[in-house]
Amino acid sequence: MVNYPQHVLISGVLIMMPESVAAFARDFRARYAVRYPSTVVHSVPPHISLMVPFVPPGRVGGPLDTTALNEATARLREVCRTVAPYTLTLDRYGTFPGGVLFLAPRDPEPTKRLYHLIQAAFPEYPAYGGEYAEFVPHMTLDVYGTDEALAGVPRPAFEPFSFGVREVVVAYGDLEVADSWTLHAAVPLGGEPAVGV
């Protein structure tokens, strides 16, 4: 797991999930609850992270200063203007070491391209603090702590979720507090839409 800075509001660039996916995630978490839920997972609504942590907007409990975040969001708008909206289909489960269970896209390449463009524009903010060499697009369902605990978690069949990715969002919050994140800005993807998006 990533070691995020403590006592600092964390911001991120995210692809938010539509209500159909969010409802599936909420139901899954309720049915197969973790004994000690990860506040990192539960502090943000269901999403795919493109860049976390991003520009910190202040300290927990301190004054909010979004000046640097506003400047970074303006830069992000320039990047996203060059990217066409696309269709994303989540159709399978995946796992990471440490008991992480997630939904994975059928075709990760459009999301990887978006990630690499954003990363190239913001090298000062390596995704996940630079702890992982490869970016794997995913929507975390929950973190079960160990691979052994995860092995006992059912993976019910589900119909694939397909939806258009037309924007990314910049949001921030406290990773220690459930449902604490605030939307800072929605940044549209600005190229020609893909067919069916």
Question: Which CATH number characterizes residue 120's domain?
Answer: 3.90.1140
Q: Which pLDDT tens digit goes with each residue over 147-197? A: 999 999 999 999 999 999 999 999 998 877 777 788 999 999 996 555 444
Residue 121 φ/ψ, nearest 5 degrees: -80, -20
Rama region for 153: left / alpha / beta (φ>0; ψ in -120 to 50; rest): beta
Q: Which residues contact 110 (CB under 8 A, 6 or more apart)?
A: 86, 88, 165
pTM for the complete prediction?
0.88
| Count of beta carbons in the 10 Å neighbourhood of residue 129 | 13
> Is 2 contained in some domain?
no
- Strand ranges (E), the chain: 10-16, 47-51, 86-96, 100-105, 139-143, 161-165, 167-173, 182-188
- Domain boundaries, position 131: 10-88+108-136+165-188
**Distance in angstroms (rounded) separating the CA atoms of residues 73 and 66:** 10
Whether 171 maps to a domain, the answer reads yes
Interhelix angle for 67-80 vs 109-121, to 10°? 130
Residue 54 lies in a domain: yes
Residue 74 in any domain: the answer is yes
Is residue 48 in some structural domain? yes
Sheet containing strand 47-51, strands side by side: 47-51, 10-16, 167-173, 182-188
Q: Is the pLDDT assigned to residue 45 strictly greater than 60?
A: yes
pLDDT tens digits for range 96-137: 999 999 999 999 999 999 999 999 999 988 877 778 788 999
Number of domains in the chain: 1
The pLDDT score that the predictor gives to residue 192 is: 54
